[in-house]
Amino acid sequence: MARRVARNDRRSRAGGTAVNATPYTSELELAAQADAVRWGRRHTRDVLSAWRLPDDRIDDAQLAVSELVTNAVRCVGNASLDAVPPRIRLTLHKEPHRLLIWVADPDPRPPVLNASPAAGAENGRGLLILERITKEWSYYFVPTGGKVVWCSIGLG
């Protein structure tokens, strides 16, 4: 698990180029397996607490991360124990009035919003939950393959 948290991180690499000039950005790379959801939620709480976000915003962010990471893990499939599982990347970025959350995975299929999941269904509610707790959400494809699903949560 690779973890990077930046807060006014101005460290430089070879010649003074800023590695991360963004005031509040955090990235976490995870193996696409069941415990990724737990690690994503824990990372989100730790980072957003360090950034002093209110508890209700942290709770919403943890729920959003849980849904996004769960979907990413399901999309790329559970790798067997002897195989190297695909990687997903969680990025948190705080701006003055919103928190942005991105989850990147190698699956090229777009997310599908199930507008009316069956009453007893265990799946199919993640994007509906995302719609209710976030200001907006969407996705885009990346040139190297796969996609990024993102959302924003209001902070003010």
Looking at residue 22, its pLDDT comes to 59
pLDDT by residue (tens digit) across 92-138? 999 999 999 999 999 999 887 666 655 555 555 667 788 888 899 99
Q: HEC states along 86-124? A: CEEEEEEEECCCEEEEEEEECCCCCCCCCCCCCCCCCCC
Q: Is residue 140 part of a domain?
A: yes
By the 8 A CB rule, do 36 and 28 touch?
Answer: no
Mean pLDDT for 62-77 is 91
> What 3-state DSSP class applies to 54?
coil
Share the mean pLDDT of the chain.
81
Q: Is residue 8 part of a domain?
A: no
Mean pLDDT for 29-58 is 95
Looking at residue 117, its pLDDT comes to 59
By the 8 A CB rule, do 7 and 24 touch?
Answer: yes
Q: Is residue 76 part of a domain?
A: yes
Number of domains in the chain: 1
Q: Is residue 9 part of a domain?
A: no
Res. 77: pLDDT tops 80: no
Looking at residue 112, its pLDDT comes to 76
Q: Is residue 71 part of a domain?
A: yes
Mean pLDDT for 5-22 is 39
State which residues form the domain around 104.
23-154
Helix then strand then coil, % of the chain, to nearest 5: 30, 30, 40
CATH number at residue 135: 3.30.565.10
Q: Is residue 143 part of a domain?
A: yes
pLDDT by residue (tens digit) across 23-43? 799 999 999 998 999 999 999
Res. 154: pLDDT tops 90: yes
Looking at residue 128, its pLDDT comes to 76
Q: Is residue 61 part of a domain?
A: yes
- CA–CA separation, 64 vs 132, rounded Å? 10
Residue of 49, 141, 142, 126 lying closest to 94 (CA atoms): 49
- Cα 92–Cα 127–Cα 44 angle in degrees, nearest 5: 25
Q: Is residue 58 part of a domain?
A: yes
What would the two tokens of residue 27 be?
């990235």
From residue 21, alpha-carbon distances to 12, 72, 96, 106 in Å are 10, 28, 15, 27
